[in-house]
């Protein structure tokens, strides 16, 4: 895919990805500057500041979010595939969230530098550094 260079910014909080049973009530604890809640037939997933997630909730912590700046048209084809391919080549696991306007790529904090380098190797710019834990 031939893509114009993108600009990414790093969300300022470390995030957790929490999993609750599919029939759980939407919890009151999600908070921070980034919150997404998704229910499927199999689970209720919550992504938010890791400081808000109770320790007794099943979760993956220390995730860092790279957000694409601007609006990505819904007709765009292959963008996430190209980004994820570069991250896969760098052996960086990803958790992707799409919103109406843009896409977010969450990576483990310990792989932040490899993720940044992989995105920059495609000619993209990344603003922001690794959030404090």
* pLDDT tens track for 10-36: 999 999 999 999 999 999 999 999 999
What average pLDDT does range 33-48 have in this prediction?
98
Residue 110 is assigned to a structural domain of this protein = yes
Residue at 2 is within a domain: no
Count of structural domains within the chain: 1
Query: 64: closest CA among 21, 101, 95?
Result: 95
pTM of the full structure: 0.94
CATH number, domain with residue 29: 3.30.2130.10
Q: What is the mean pLDDT of the chain?
A: 96
Structure-block tokens of residue 117: 């380098």
User: How far apart (Å, rounded) are the C-alpha atoms in residues 92 and 115?
Assistant: 6
Is there a domain that residue 24 lies in? yes
**Which DSSP helix (H) or strand (E) runs through 62?**
strand 59-68
Residue 133 lies in a domain: no
Name the percent of the chain in helix, strand, coil, to the closest 5.
20, 30, 45
pLDDT for 114-130, tens place per residue?
999 999 999 999 999 99
> Domain of 30?
7-127
Structural domain contains residue 132: no
Confidence class for position 1, pLDDT limits 50, 70, 90: low
């Amino acid at each position: 895919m031939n893509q114009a260079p993108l600009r990414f910014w790093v969300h300022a909080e470390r995030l957790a990805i929490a999993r609750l049973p599919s029939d759980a009530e939407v919890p009151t604890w999600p908070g921070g500057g980034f919150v997404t809640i998704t229910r499927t037939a199999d689970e209720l997933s919550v992504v938010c500041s890791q400081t808000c997630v109770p320790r007794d909730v099943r979760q993956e912590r220390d995730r860092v979010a790279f957000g694409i700046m601007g609006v990505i048209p819904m007709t765009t084809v292959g963008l996430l595939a190209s980004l994820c391919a570069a991250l896969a080549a760098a052996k960086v696991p990803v958790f992707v969230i799409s919103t109406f306007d843009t896409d977010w790529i969450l990576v483990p904090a310990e792989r932040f530098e490899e993720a940044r380098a992989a995105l920059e190797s495609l000619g993209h710019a990344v603003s922001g550094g690794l959030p404090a834990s």
